[in-house]
Amino acid sequence: MQKLLLQLLLMLAVLPVTVAQAVELATYSDSTGVLHIPVVDVDGLSYAVDLAIVPLSNPYRFIVESDSVVTTTAANEVSHSTYYDNGNLLIPAIAVGDVVYRVKMVLVDANLLIFELTYGDATAILKSLPVGIAPFDPATNKAGSIDFSYPELGSTSKIFLEFNGLLIDFGTGPEGVYLAHFTFNLPRGTDLLSMTDGTVSVVELNSNHPDSEIRISPSNAPSYRLTYDHVSGVTVSVGDSVAAGQILGQSSDTKFEADVSLVRNNTAYCPVDFFDSSLAAAMTNTLATLISDWEDYKSDSGIYNEASMYRTACRTETGSL
């Protein structure tokens, strides 16, 4: 099958797509653990491929169970078909139950024919920032809910710590640690907002702080979780449906953290990659303005190294929780 051996990044968290009825969709059966791809184009040949799940694998792994040539039609002549290009297999439409998703698969091992299943690419999960942010008002010393007169984070001279930014002097030793969160230093009692429409899956007290952690499963991306740490006065319970922008509680005396991660592998992702497309420009600009306003307030344009960031407010694309 010409090395159609890929790490499977099955994006069950991606928005549904519209597909012509005449196109046979790739399908995944959770009961059998088989991913069936009716047509995949490799160097001008089209194959039908079945990938079977490897028992007891975690994260899930798949192995090629069967494949056969189905047509010699060139890839660009097959509407909406799966195609293989430069180590990537892209499935424009895969049926998972009653929902259709886009899927991306990346080559991992061409010799053993094994694929790894993760939930990977960015999707439109986030419709709100976790706190109210506005341009800085010198009359109040505030940028929305963020008080610029409140102490900055550690010895970084930052009022807001970007995703996977280095936080020095955080009680973990002289080297500091990389935190895969948006981290805010907020006065106690600041309203904290849901970033997504979803369902509350966890509300639990922290063992080392008098506050709570909340986790939310996004409605359109159940493979992901959003975590809000150091929340006081929690206003939601497990099982509650929440809307983006809804108040979840208030900040405690500890730095508030918010992150986007996968349920199974504790990998966190740059939240900016998950902004809803219709809101992304405004939300990104809000974070960029917060950064520039803080640098102006501190009279130091070098506090945040924007030029080296993966995206606005994200030092890297991913991080470890």
pLDDT in tens, the chain (321 residues): 333 333 333 333 333 344 444 456 778 777 777 888 887 776 667 778 887 776 766 555 667 677 677 664 443 444 446 766 666 666 666 666 655 666 666 666 666 656 554 443 446 789 999 999 999 999 999 999 999 998 887 768 888 889 998 876 655 555 667 888 898 888 889 999 999 999 999 999 988 888 899 999 888 777 678 899 999 999 999 999 999 999 999 998 878 787 776 555 677 888 998 888 889 899 999 999 999 999 999 999 999 999 999 999 999 988 887
Asked if residue 130 belongs to a domain, the reply is: no
Asked if residue 160 belongs to a domain, the reply is: yes
Asked if residue 291 belongs to a domain, the reply is: yes
* 110 backbone dihedrals φ, ψ, rounded to 5°: -80, -10
308 and 169, same structural domain?
Answer: yes
Tell me the β-bridge partners of 35: 28, 51
Asked if residue 185 belongs to a domain, the reply is: yes
* Contact between residue 136 and residue 148 where contact means Cβ atoms under 8 Å apart: yes
48 and 168, same structural domain?
Answer: no
Asked if residue 239 belongs to a domain, the reply is: yes
114 and 146, same structural domain?
Answer: no
The total domain count for the chain is 2
Separation of first and last alpha carbons in the chain:
38
CA distance 167 to 249: 25
- Model pTM score: 0.64
**Where residue 212 sits, what CATH number does that domain have?**
2.70.70.10
* Contact between residue 177 and residue 166 where contact means Cβ atoms under 8 Å apart: yes
* Contact between residue 176 and residue 170 where contact means Cβ atoms under 8 Å apart: yes
Sign of the torsion formed by the C-alpha atoms of 99, 100, 106 and 108: positive
Q: Tell me which residue range forms the domain holding 244.
A: 142-320
CA distance 304 to 311: 12
Tell the residue number behind the tokens 């809804």, with chain if given.
Answer: 246
Asked if residue 134 belongs to a domain, the reply is: no
106 and 224, same structural domain?
Answer: no
| Three-state SS annotation for 189-238 | CCEEECCCCEEEEEEEECCCCCCEEEEEEECCCCCEEEEEEEEECCCCCC
Asked if residue 285 belongs to a domain, the reply is: yes
